[in-house]
Each structure stands twice: as structure tokens, then as C-alpha cells.
């Protein structure tokens, strides 16, 4: 079988365009499997996967777990709260202890950028990054790309807008290289305090005005405003953010274009996105969640081919 160029999935940056295409093609097959009455396939039988969530997560963890179960893998779950991490054990020790119990693959989320790469240098298991600090969240990038692909048939030449806290967003960290690799144009929008200073060197443009940015785009990915990840206040208040960068019905009606709205979840309803937009036909949000399982099945399946 022709596999991926990488042994781990740590960052979209590391993937070739052909890798992304292969993951999309595989996900399409799995999505079809997920429509069947019997949704389980034996592809990963006898493979043990550890889901190591050093940072809280609900949807990503459930999505991975479901993908693993659909593929018949054995899974173990670990979350940092109530674990030995709190007792001062290092990341490397924690993971090595789990691997001593013969685990083949590790799905990990961690608050430190680069933690999966650090582990990959010190442990033998294959690693799938489920979000590291403010670096990348590659399966989110892939499922975003796949959802847009389903809607538009191609990513090439598409105008893709990301709105919000780009500086602290690992979703943007994966969406940007994925969209650029697949030939889309990327713009970011948000208050300048939440935009990385060197963003344009990535090949991305910046538009401070939300309305102008929306007029430009075909798809707008609205990011969650995460005050909990900011130790400094980068914006005066959520109220002011919502007034100037919140996406609402009136704003969308004022532009002459029917754009597609995405959100990686969970939504702060009424802050970055209003309910009448999130729940409308323009929104791809639930498709993103559905595609998340297929994408994660595809990634696990393709990487396991090399266990």
C-alpha cells in the first residue's frame, strides 16, 4: 500500500500535498463506511492506541476514540487531571510508563508547543498530535480542509478567511499550511493584538476590517475566543470583541455573497458567532464534526500501515 511520507502526524507543515490528498481519499472511503448499518471495520485489530490528553478536551478526544473503535483498535485513555502528572512526573516518564505496557500508537494533546515532536525523538511509538500548545492541531486542519473540499469540490483558488485569535490558535497553525499547500488563498482577520507579527511571511494576508474580509472570502473559519489561554488581556472585553469581530446575521446579510461559515468548536455563542449564523444552512459546523471521525480514521489507518 502506498502510505504517508511521515511516520507520525505531528504537523501539517511536515506533510506533502500527496499525503493530504491520500488522507482525503481515505477519509472519503471511511465516511462511506460510517453510513453503513455496521460501522465497524477490523483494520486496526490488535493495535493498541493510547489517548493521552494532558490538556482538557471533550470533542477531539471523543472523535479520536470513536475513530479508533470504528477501526477495532484497543484503546486506553489518560487525562492529566488526577494522574501522576500532577505529582510532578515528567512527560517522558509518564509516556514511557504507558508504553512499557506495549502501546503501538499515541494520540496526544499537550499545552506545550512541540511536545509531540519532543516525544517522537525519545519514544518508539507512533505519535498523532491532537493539538500542541499554540503550534498545530493537524487533524483539525485536515477535517477543515476536507469539509471545504466536500462543499466546493476543490480547494484550489478558494478564498479562505480565518477570524479571531490567530496568535494563540493551533487551528490556524494547521489550517494555514494546509490551505496554502492545497492552493487556496488565506487571509486572517482580528484585532492586531491577536495577530502574529510575522504572519505575512507565511504567505498569508491580514485584513483588520471584518466586513471587508468577509466580502473577500468564500469560506470563513471563525475561531473561538479563548480568554483562558491568554495570560495578558489582548482585547479590552468580550463585549467589545463581539461588537467589532463577532459574526452575526445582520453583517452577513449586508454583504452580497453567500459565504460558508465554519467553527472548530466549542462556540461561544453570541461572542464570536451568533446562533442564527451557527445554526443556519450557511454553516458547515456539524459536517466538520462528522468529517472529524472519518479524517481521524483515515490518519490512524494510514499510519498503522507502518507500525
- Which residues are at the interface with other proteins (CB under 8 A)? 13, 90-92, 110, 112-115, 117-118, 121-122, 132-136, 170, 173, 196-199, 201-202, 231
| Residues making up the chain, counted from first to last | 307
Contact 23, 302 (CB under 8 A): yes
Q: Which is nearer to other proteins, 106 or 293 (CB)?
A: 106
Q: Which is nearer to other proteins, 169 or 283 (CB)?
A: 169
Q: Which is nearer to other proteins, 27 or 189 (CB)?
A: 189
Q: Tell me the torsion sign for CA atoms 40, 124, 26, 188.
A: positive
- Give me the least distance between CB of 119 and other proteins, in Å please: 9
Integer-rounded Cα radius of gyration of the chain: 19
Q: Which is nearer to other proteins, 191 or 246 (CB)?
A: 191
Question: How far is the C-alpha of 263 from the C-alpha of 272, rounded, in Å?
Answer: 10
- Give me the least distance between CB of 86 and other proteins, in Å please: 15
- 269: which 3 cell numbers? 455563542
- Give me the least distance between CB of 225 and other proteins, in Å please: 18
What are the backbone angles phi and psi of residue 52, rounded to the nearest 5°? Answer: -105, 105
Q: Which is nearer to other proteins, 70 or 135 (CB)?
A: 135
Q: Which is nearer to other proteins, 11 or 213 (CB)?
A: 11
For the sheet containing 219-222, what is the strand order? Answer: 205-206, 185-189, 159-163, 219-222, 260-262
- Give me the least distance between CB of 258 and other proteins, in Å please: 33
Q: How far is CA 262 from CA 46, 238, 266, in A?
A: 36, 20, 11
Best CA proximity match to 71, nearest among 98, 105, 20, 112: 105
- Give me the least distance between CB of 69 and other proteins, in Å please: 29
Question: How far is the C-alpha of 79 from the C-alpha of 57, rounded, in Å?
Answer: 9
Q: Which is nearer to other proteins, 27 or 195 (CB)?
A: 195
Question: How far is the C-alpha of 55 from the C-alpha of 237, rounded, in Å?
Answer: 25
Q: Which is nearer to other proteins, 36 or 198 (CB)?
A: 198
Q: Residue 196 contacts by C-beta under 8 Å, 6 or more apart in sequence? A: 166, 167
- Give me the least distance between CB of 176 and other proteins, in Å please: 10
- Give me the least distance between CB of 13 and other proteins, in Å please: 7
- Give me the least distance between CB of 279 and other proteins, in Å please: 31
Amino acid at each position: 500500500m502506498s502510505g504517508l511520507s511521515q511516520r507520525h502526524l505531528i504537523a501539517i507543515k511536515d506533510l506533502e500535498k500527496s499525503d493530504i490528498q491520500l488522507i482525503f481519499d481515505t477519509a472519503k472511503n471511511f465516511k462511506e463506511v460510517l453510513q453503513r448499518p455496521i460501522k465497524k471495520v477490523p483494520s486496526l485489530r490488535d493495535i493498541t492506541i493510547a489517548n493521552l490528553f494532558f490538556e482538557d478536551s471533550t470533542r477531539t478526544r471523543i472523535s479520536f476514540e470513536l475513530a479508533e473503535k470504528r477501526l477495532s483498535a484497543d484503546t486506553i485513555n489518560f487525562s492529566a487531571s488526577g494522574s501522576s502528572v500532577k505529582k510532578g512526573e515528567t512527560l517522558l516518564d509518564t509516556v514511557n510508563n504507558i508504553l512499557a505496557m506495549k502501546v503501538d500508537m499515541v494520540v496526544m494533546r499537550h499545552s506545550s508547543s512541540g511536545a509531540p515532536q519532543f516525544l517522537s525523538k525519545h519514544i518508539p511509538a507512533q505519535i498523532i498530535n491532537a493539538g500542541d500548545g499554540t503550534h498545530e492541531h493537524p487533524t483539525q486542519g485536515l477535517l477543515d480542509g476536507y469539509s471545504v473540499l466536500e462543499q466546493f469540490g476543490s480547494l484550489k483558488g478558494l478564498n479562505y478567511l480565518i477570524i479571531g485569535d490567530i496568535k494563540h490558535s493551533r487551528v490556524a497553525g494547521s489550517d494555514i499550511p494546509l490551505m496554502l499547500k492545497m492552493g487556496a488563498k488565506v487571509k486572517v482577520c482580528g484585532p492586531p493584538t491577536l495577530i502574529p507579527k510575522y504572519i505575512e511571511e507565511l504567505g498569508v494576508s491580514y485584513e483588520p476590517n471584518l466586513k471587508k474580509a468577509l466580502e473577500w472570502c468564500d469560506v470563513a473559519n471563525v475561531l473561538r475566543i479563548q480568554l483562558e489561554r491568554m495570560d495578558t488581556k489582548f482585547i479590552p472585553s468580550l463585549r467589545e470583541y463581539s461588537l467589532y469581530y463577532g459574526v452575526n446575521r445582520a453583517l452577513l446579510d449586508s454583504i452580497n455573497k453567500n459565504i460558508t461559515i465554519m467553527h472548530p468548536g466549542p462556540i461561544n455563542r453570541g461572542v464570536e458567532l451568533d446562533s442564527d449564523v451557527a445554526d443556519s444552512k450557511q454553516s458547515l459546523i456539524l459536517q466538520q464534526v462528522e468529517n472529524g471521525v472519518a479524517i481521524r480514521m483515515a490518519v490512524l489507518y494510514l499510519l498503522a500501515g507502518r507500525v
